[in-house]
């Protein structure tokens, strides 16, 4: 249906899986990837797709209006899939400013680009990728698309603000938007700052596994390849103006999840990695529980998560163990030092 997709943040974790998916599923379409290559983005995440005939990689910042205008004039994409963001809660606590400029101002820049493109392409769509964190803690039941926003962290607040701008462009300018709010994703190529890769790296080094607070916070975990299929469904078949919540139903406490990862490591490498777990100071503003009601995307688009959690975790652990070089290149000592001080672990 679309001739060219503009994917922002395509050198990051979810974006790189999406580019691989789009490039292989729609070989006749052009995939234009914009990424600022921050600490979180690397063209290597695209593997051979970085050099594919139908993929164009542009090193650019979504805060740069001149660059965006150049891309519009040169490529005229008929769909924008927006994932570029500062994405790590601990970083947002440490230094919130980039979260405002990239997640809020950058999103608004892309919406303006979308307005221009929508004038020329009747089929134009803007798909905005958001998070369950905008709803704040869901102590019982599930968040629904119309649950009021109550973001706790600067990251969640910046994503909530971005979502509001997306909806305001739909209401004010009739921009054809679709929003997806997803839960915690996991899988290969996720940056080491996030829970699962961080625990794998530290476990193999014989270091402590820092669990914030009492470790009883509940998160819903979705494999990244299931998520990119959901984005594809929502982009091609979603109702204009709709919000789709994209979850797996697999909800675990952080302690339960880390124990599962440790037992997979034990099977592969021997030892008893869970004994390295250590409760630390809690994350400020740490939300107790997230849970999404994904019934709309199940019913309307017939999308369902397919990768069973244990199988997905096994694949993920294996990928990190087999990609030690990738792990080393993704280390960020500056942040690690701040995190260790903040949470009181070594």
Catalytic residues: 132-133, 155
Our finding on whether 331 is near ligand NAD (CB under 6 A) is no
Q: What is the C-alpha to C-alpha distance for residues 60 and 173, in angstroms, rounded to an integer?
A: 26
Supply the Cα-derived Rg of the chain in whole angstroms.
19
Q: What is the DSSP string of 188-216?
A: TT--TTSHHHHHHHHHHTT--EEEETTS-
Is position 158 an interface residue for ligand NAD (rule: CB under 6 A)?
no
The strand pairing partners of 219, in sequence order, are 252
Please identify, among the stretches 8-16, 115-123, 249-257, 306-314, the one whose residues bind ligand NAD according to the rule CB under 6 A. 8-16
Tokens standing for 141?
Answer: 């039941």
For ligand NAD, the binding residues in 184-223 under the rule CB under 6 A are 184-185, 191
Confirm if 198 and 94 have CB atoms less than 8 A apart: no
Q: Which of ligand TYD, ligand NAD, none binds 185 (CB below 5-8 Å, type-dependent)?
A: ligand NAD
Contact flags string 106-145 toward ligand NAD, x per CB under 6 A: x----------------------x-x--------------
Q: According to the binding rule CB under 6 A, does residue 182 interact with ligand NAD?
A: yes
Q: How far is the CB of 20 from ligand TYD (least distance, A)?
A: 22
d(CA 171, CA 191): 35
The minimum distance between CB 235 and ligand TYD, in angstroms, equals: 23
Q: What is the DSSP letter of 275?
A: G
Taking a C-beta distance cutoff of 8 angstroms, is the pair 111, 165 a contact?
Answer: yes
127 binds, among ligand NAD, ligand TYD, none (CB under 5 to 8 A by kind): none
Least separation, in Å, of the C-beta of 196 and ligand NAD?
Answer: 10
Total residues at interface with ligand NAD (CB under 6 A): 31
Residue labelled with tokens 């998160």: 219
198 binds, among ligand TYD, ligand NAD, none (CB under 5 to 8 A by kind): ligand TYD
On whether the CB atoms of residues 151 and 159 are closer than 8 A, the answer is yes
Residue 61, number of CB atoms within 10 A of its CB: 18
Separation CA 291–CA 289 (nearest Å): 7
Q: Note whether 37 binds ligand NAD by CB under 6 A.
A: yes
Q: Which stretch binds ligand NAD (CB under 6 A): 12-20, 197-205, 258-266, 319-327?
A: 12-20
Question: Of the candidates 3, 29, 38, 241, which one interacts with ligand NAD according to CB under 6 A?
Answer: 38
Q: 189 or 280, CB closer to ligand NAD?
A: 189
Q: In the complex, which residues of this chain contact ligand TYD (CB under 6 A)?
A: 89, 184, 194-195, 198, 210-212, 217, 219, 254, 283
Both tokens assigned to 45: 């995440």
Interatomic CA distance for residues 184 and 293, integer angstroms: 14
The one of ligand NAD, ligand TYD, none whose footprint includes residue 106, by CB under 5 to 8 A per kind, is ligand NAD
Helix (H) or strand (E) holding 184: strand 184-186
Which residue number is nearest to ligand NAD in terms of Cβ?
A: 12
211 binds, among ligand TYD, ligand NAD, none (CB under 5 to 8 A by kind): ligand TYD
By CB under 6 A, name the one of 6, 80, 84, 113 that touches ligand NAD. Answer: 84
Residue 212 binding result from ligand TYD, ligand NAD, none, given CB thresholds of 5 to 8 Å by partner type: ligand TYD
DSSP for 39-107, written as a single string: TT--GGGGGGGGG-TTEEEEE--TT-HHHHHHHHHHH--SEEEE------HHHHHH--HHIIIIIIIIH
CB 134 within 8 A of CB 183: no
Q: Which residues bind ligand NAD (CB under 6 A)?
A: 8-9, 11-15, 34-38, 40-41, 61-63, 83-87, 102, 106, 129, 131, 159, 182, 184-185, 191
């Amino acid at each position: 249906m679309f001739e060219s997709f503009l994917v922002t943040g395509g050198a990051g974790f979810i974006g790189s899986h999406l580019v691989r998916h789009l490039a292989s599923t729609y070989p006749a379409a052009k995939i234009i990837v914009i990424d600022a290559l921050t600490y979180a983005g690397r063209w290597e995440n695209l593997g051979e797709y970085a050099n594919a005939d139908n993929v164009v990689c542009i090193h650019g910042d979504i805060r740069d209006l001149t660059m965006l205008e150049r891309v519009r004039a040169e490529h005229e994409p008929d769909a924008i899939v927006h994932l570029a963001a500062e994405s790590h809660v601990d970083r947002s606590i440490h230094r919130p400013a980039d979260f405002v400029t990239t997640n809020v101002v950058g999103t608004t820049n892309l919406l303006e680009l979308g307005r221009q493109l929508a004038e020329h392409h009747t089929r134009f769509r803007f798909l905005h990728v958001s998070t369950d964190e905008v709803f704040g803690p869901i102590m019982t039941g599930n968040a629904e698309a119309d649950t009021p926003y109550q973001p706790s962290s600067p990251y969640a607040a910046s994503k909530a603000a971005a979502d509001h701008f997306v909806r305001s462009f739909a209401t004010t300018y009739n921009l054809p938007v679709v929003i997806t709010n997803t839960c915690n994703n996991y899988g290969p190529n996720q940056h080491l700052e996030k829970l699962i890769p961080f625990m794998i790296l530290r476990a193999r080094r014989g270091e402590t596994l820092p669990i914030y607070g009492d470790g009883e916070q509940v998160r819903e975990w979705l494999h990244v390849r299931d998520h990119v299929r959901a984005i594809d469904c929502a982009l091609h078949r979603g109702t204009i103006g709709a919000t789709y919540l994209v979850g797996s139903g697999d909800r675990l406490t952080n302690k339960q999840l880390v124990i599962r990862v440790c037992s997979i490591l034990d099977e592969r490498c021997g030892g008893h990695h869970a004994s390295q777990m250590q409760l630390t100071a809690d994350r400020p503003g740490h939300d107790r529980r997230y849970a999404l009601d994904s019934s709309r995307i199940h019913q309307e688009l017939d999308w369902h998560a397919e990768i069973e959690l244990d199988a997905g975790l096994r694949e993920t652990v294996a990928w990190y163990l087999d990609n030690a070089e990738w792990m080393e290149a993704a280390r960020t000592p500056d942040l690690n030092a701040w995190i260790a001080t903040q949470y009181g672990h070594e």
